[in-house]
């Protein structure tokens, strides 16, 4: 198996990406990695490592898409960017999985434009893992598709269920449709029609509508929404968790200064549990080939996790099973 990684993508690239790739060699056995990006930069960080020769290939790409670049413009203008070259490897089947911690908008757009969808899939969707007190759930779509139709939502429910099963080795996840009330009649037209489609699929463990308050405390392992809602949700949560932990820490500093230092590992632990890189990144479900997005702030550990997850999902036939379920 060949796994391709964007060496230049993310706030801590290339150093942390290269380190993460080297660490992944420990479990990769016969699989090889392609590091895509500026060869001199990659070599600078590989130079000190051993045992990578013959297991890591380098595909030179001269340009780099920055984290703040305009997505569509940058993928059009920077043809020889690591991100475009990476996606080409996935699109042409030269890599079984592609992984990037780079500019999210550019990466998602490049994958959507460059890679084909699986047979039967109408639109790809991004899935992320989020923590609940009772375990981890998967939410899709969190931003690939902001012009969502009922059939798309239904397909996200199927694809995210298969992804959940592969990721956590648990069968039949309970599926909830994110809405503004629990009754089937609640929500907008999109959600009401998607409800019917999910309800009609006897192979799906569909629990019905859930509300915002159930996302982090309810019983669904898979939660479905359109990309606009999911994107706002994901970004709100990420910033809110950070803010709240900062507030806890700064109030503690003032009111119980003797305990503030002891709190640091606690607030850090909580904050990091909301980082989806923990769970191997966020896949763009529904594409031919596997495409994984890591968080922009990914360190080596997050890159290693993503490589492990991508490899496992590929060996576990994630895509084949998505096709089989959708075309049943």
- Shortest CB 157 distance to a copy of itself, Å: 17
- Among 266, 315, 317, 327, the residue binding a copy of itself under the rule CB under 8 A is 266
Q: Applying CB under 8 A, does 267 fall inside the site for a copy of itself?
A: yes
Q: Which residues contact 214 (CB under 8 A, 6 or more apart)?
A: 176, 220
**Closest residue by Cα to residue 284 from 109, 150, 78, 95:** 109
Contact between 308 and 161 (Cβ < 8 Å): no
Q: Applying CB under 8 A, does 241 fall inside the site for a copy of itself?
A: yes
**Whole-angstrom Cα distance, residue 308 to residue 24?**
7
Q: Applying CB under 8 A, does 248 fall inside the site for a copy of itself?
A: yes
3-state secondary structure of 132: strand
Q: Applying CB under 8 A, does 223 fall inside the site for a copy of itself?
A: no
- Among 79, 119, 251, 327, the residue binding a copy of itself under the rule CB under 8 A is 251
User: Angle, to 10 degrees, between the axis of helix 15-28 and the axis of helix 300-315?
Assistant: 40
Q: Which residues contact 282 (CB under 8 A, 6 or more apart)?
A: 126, 127, 128, 129, 142, 276, 292, 293, 294
Binding range to a copy of itself, per CB under 8 A, among 26-34, 51-59, 165-173, 246-254 = 246-254
**Whole-angstrom Cα distance, residue 204 to residue 78?**
42
Task: List the x/- string, 2-41, binding to a copy of itself by CB under 8 A.
Answer: ----------------------------------------
Q: What is the DSSP letter of 82?
A: H
Q: How many CB atoms lie within 10 A of CB 58?
A: 16
Task: List the x/- string, 65-94, binding to a copy of itself by CB under 8 A.
Answer: -----x------------------------
Of 269 and 324, the one with the shorter C-beta distance to a copy of itself is 269
Phi, psi values for residue 99, rounded to 5°: -135, 130
Site residues (CB under 8 A) for a copy of itself, limited to 160-219:
178-181, 183, 187-189, 191, 211-217
Token reading at 65 = 């898409």
Q: Applying CB under 8 A, does 59 fall inside the site for a copy of itself?
A: no
Binding range to a copy of itself, per CB under 8 A, among 23-31, 89-97, 251-259, 276-284 = 251-259
Q: Applying CB under 8 A, does 222 fall inside the site for a copy of itself?
A: no
Site residues (CB under 8 A) for a copy of itself, limited to 307-326:
none
Instruction: Please name the residue that has the structure tokens 């001199």.
Output: 40
Would you tell me which residues interact with a copy of itself (CB under 8 A)? 70, 105, 133, 143, 146-147, 178-181, 183, 187-189, 191, 211-217, 225, 227-229, 231-241, 243-245, 247-248, 251-252, 255-256, 258-259, 262-263, 265-267, 269-270
């Amino acid at each position: 198996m060949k796994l391709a990684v964007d060496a230049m993508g993310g706030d801590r690239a290339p150093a942390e990406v290269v380190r993460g790739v080297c660490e992944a060699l420990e479990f990769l056995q016969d699989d090889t990695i392609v590091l895509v990006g500026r060869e001199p930069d990659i070599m600078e960080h590989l130079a000190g490592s051993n045992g990578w020769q013959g297991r890591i290939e380098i595909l030179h790409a001269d340009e780099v898409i920055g984290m703040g670049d305009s997505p569509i413009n940058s993928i059009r203008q920077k043809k020889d960017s690591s991100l475009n070259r990476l996606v080409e490897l996935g699109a042409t089947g030269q890599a079984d999985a592609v992984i990037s911690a780079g500019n999210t908008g550019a990466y998602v757009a490049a994958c959507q434009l460059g890679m084909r969808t699986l047979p039967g899939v109408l639109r790809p969707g991004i899935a992320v893992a989020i923590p609940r007190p009772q375990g981890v759930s998967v939410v899709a779509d969190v931003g690939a598709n902001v012009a969502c139709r009922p059939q798309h939502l239904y397909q996200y429910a199927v694809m995210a269920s298969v992804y959940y099963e592969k990721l956590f080795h648990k069968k039949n996840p309970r599926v909830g449709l994110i809405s503004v009330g629990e009754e089937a009649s609640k929500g907008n037209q999109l959600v009401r029609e998607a409800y019917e489609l999910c309800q009609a699929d006897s192979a799906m463990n569909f629990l019905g509508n859930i509300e915002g308050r159930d996302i982090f405390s309810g019983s669904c392992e898979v939660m479905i929404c359109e990309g606009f809602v999911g994107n706002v949700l994901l970004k709100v949560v990420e910033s809110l968790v950070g803010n709240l932990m900062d507030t806890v820490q700064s109030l503690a500093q003032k009111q119980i200064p003797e305990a503030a230092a002891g709190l640091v590992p606690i607030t850090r632990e909580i904050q990091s549990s909301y980082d989806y890189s923990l769970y191997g990144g966020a896949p763009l479900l529904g594409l031919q080939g596997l495409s994984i997005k890591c968080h922009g702030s990914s360190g080596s550990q997050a890159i290693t996790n993503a490589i492990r997850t991508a490899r496992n999902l590929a060996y576990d036939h994630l895509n084949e099973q998505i096709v089989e379920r959708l075309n049943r």
